[in-house]
Chain A
Amino acid sequence: MNAIITSAVCGVIMMFSSVFVENKKTYRHIAAVLLLLLLAVNVADTYGIRLFHIDTKGMLLFDRFGYFFNSIAIASTLIYVVLTGRDIEKVGTYTAEYFVLIFFVLCGVTILSSYNTLLMLFLGIEILSIPLYILTGADKRNLKSNEAALKYFLMGSFSTGIMLMGITLIYGATGTFDIYVTPKETITGQPAIVYSLLESAGLILMMISIGFKVSAAPFHFWTPDVYDGSPGVFTSFMATIVKAAGFIAFIKLFDARADASGVEANAFTGVDWKMLFAILIVSTLLIGNITAVFQQSVKRMMAYSSIAQAGFMLFALFSLNDVAKEGLLLYAAAYSLASIGIFAIMVKMKDHTFEGYNGLSKTQPVLAATNTIFLLSLAGIPLTAGFFAKYYMLASVMKTSGYLWLVIVGVVFAAVSVYYYFRVIQAMYFKDGEATITEEVSKGFKVGIIVLAGLIILFGILPQSLLQWFYF
């Protein structure tokens, strides 16, 4: 509860700071301080210090999982703002407002990590999405940014409509918006089969709509254009923290539904959910990885890579056990940190194609070295956080008997992904060229990015150093 209210209040404070503070550079310092405060407040909440005592009538449920994810999301945003704050200033004239919108997105993230009714799920997703539509179109004079905003907005509200239909059908079947409920409890005169049919249809619609939000294939088609068109700094935010939040919402919903029916997840409401998720995973991995191979621009490659990474995160939805939940948190942290680093370096580059990175190791050895670590982590090479993240995901599937082929598919596509990540490394180290950056990087940026790379290696060697906070 602390984090939800504080993030909204921080947004309002930021808004007023744009009235009273003239200097543009101050905004990112204010934002960083507020994010630090937000993180402290959330950690305090984890340890039982509540600032607000509000009876939510069971609409929100706060648990260790949600708190821990909030901390990861807020800490990632803090790192994001510290690293790329200068680039946010360059997007347009309304610097403070961009930070305001980021705070409001965080408010949506914190609601999504703690919702207990479908109403709060809906509100959380909307609070998360609407500021993002604006951020996508922040570069008002740029046609690509316009197109991205329009596409993102139309697809986003379309998927909201589908989700609402899903919620309504579930409500019709169960008579309540609580996520923990069985259809059997609330049969009212109609034959039971009608209700389970309504509920299955509702859940499938919800699956489609959240599939849109986390860009799982075949609902991914908006992703490349939107990620490519929107300003690089906001792509970074969209592809990392927001996407991870979508997965948290996804796993909470399906975890609750699997619990509610009191049986194995594949038996609930008569639909073979395991198979549905398996199809979703395979198509997402296939489309994401194969298309990423053919891209010429690093920004677009990262868009497809984010689809491919979403495929890996979907493994957690498939297996829905404790390893999967732990793994999803680790994956969210590993993926967010690595992608934030790659995007932070990318927005400094003049040319976003692979050729633009040629010879970066000679001109900017620090950036090239850290970028290599981030790329290795995304590819899942041992000694980086990405390795254990992928390991946990595959291990969770191993615990579900009869789906060994899915693990093999995962490993094969992880191998495919190595190709396009290594293309960037190859360009940086083994090709001659004049990689140019738009402006001289500051010492602070270098220190920040080295710390970020250090974190990724730390989680790669000792994943428990992150996960022990989950249990402490």
Chain B
Amino acid sequence: MPIQYYIAFAATLFCIGVVGVLTRRNAIIVFMCIELMLNAVNLLLVAFSKMHHAAALAGGGKNVTTGVEGQLFVFFIMVVAAAEVSVGLAIIVMMYRNVHSVDVNFLNRLKN
């Protein structure tokens, strides 16, 4: 499949994530949208990695490792995302204990 399809698909997923973050008010859903953005990136990274690998093979190389780093990056994103989830959910739970709500705007209203 041509790379353009992957770019378009990943861009769509990414935009859904961005719009979700900007419009939704539930902290957990905002959080899910951020994960969606990260997964769009993962997908695109793997596609680019394949593309660069194929280009290197077509260039005449045998057993080339071009493009491996793209897939390696995906693992790092997964690890960091897991670390972020653990901290983020802890923060959301901390907030829930105090105000019994996970609404992002709830605290704003409380202040006024």
- Looking at A158-166, A288-296, A357-365, A459-467, the stretch in contact with chain B turns out to be A158-166
Tell me the chain A residues, 159-180 only, with Cβ under 8 Å from chain B: 160-162, 164-165, 167-168, 171-172, 175-177
| Min CB–CB distance A184 → chain B (angstroms) | 15
CB–CB A157/B88 < 8 A: yes
Residues of B within 8 Å of A411, CB to CB, are none
Q: Is B16 an interface residue (CB 8 A)?
A: no
Q: Is A43 an interface residue (CB 8 A)?
A: no
Residues of B within 8 Å of A97, CB to CB, are none
Size of A's binding interface in residues, CB under 8 A? 35
CB–CB B44/A172 < 8 A: yes
Residue among A134, A137, A165 with the highest chain B CB neighbour number at 10 A: A165
Residues of B within 8 Å of A164, CB to CB, are 37-38, 41, 77
Q: Is B1 an interface residue (CB 8 A)?
A: no
Residue-wise interface mask of A (113-156) relative to B, using a CB-CB cutoff of 8 A (1 in contact, 0 not): 00000010011001000100110010011011011011101100
Residues of A within 8 Å of B76, CB to CB, are 119, 122-123
| Min CB–CB distance A453 → chain B (angstroms) | 36
Residues of A within 8 Å of B18, CB to CB, are 162
Residue-wise interface mask of B (59-100) relative to A, using a CB-CB cutoff of 8 A (1 in contact, 0 not): 100000011011011001100100110011011101100110
CB–CB A171/B34 < 8 A: no
Give complex CA distance A160, B80 in Å.
10
Give complex CA distance A151, B84 in Å.
14
| Min CB–CB distance A402 → chain B (angstroms) | 35
Size of B's binding interface in residues, CB under 8 A? 49
Residues of B within 8 Å of A175, CB to CB, are 52, 55, 66-67
Residues of A within 8 Å of B55, CB to CB, are 175, 188-189
The residue of chain A having its C-beta at the shortest distance from the C-beta of B66 within the complex is A175
| Min CB–CB distance A119 → chain B (angstroms) | 6
Give complex CA distance A126, B73 in Å.
14
CB–CB B27/A154 < 8 A: yes
Residues of A within 8 Å of B37, CB to CB, are 158, 161-162, 164-165
CB–CB A171/B41 < 8 A: no
Give complex CA distance A122, B106 in Å.
32
CB–CB B91/A168 < 8 A: no
| Min CB–CB distance A206 → chain B (angstroms) | 13
CB–CB B21/A126 < 8 A: no
CB–CB B104/A153 < 8 A: no
| Min CB–CB distance A98 → chain B (angstroms) | 15
Residues of A within 8 Å of B34, CB to CB, are 154, 157-158, 161
Give complex CA distance A143, B98 in Å.
7
A-B contact pairs, 20 of them (CB 8 A): A119-B76, A122-B77, A126-B83, A137-B94, A143-B99, A144-B111, A150-B27, A150-B92, A157-B31, A157-B88, A164-B38, A165-B40, A168-B45, A168-B48, A171-B45, A171-B70, A172-B7, A175-B66, A175-B67, A188-B58
User: Which 6 A-B pairs have CB atoms at the shortest separation, nearest pair first?
Assistant: A188-B55, A161-B37, A147-B107, A172-B48, A164-B41, A175-B52
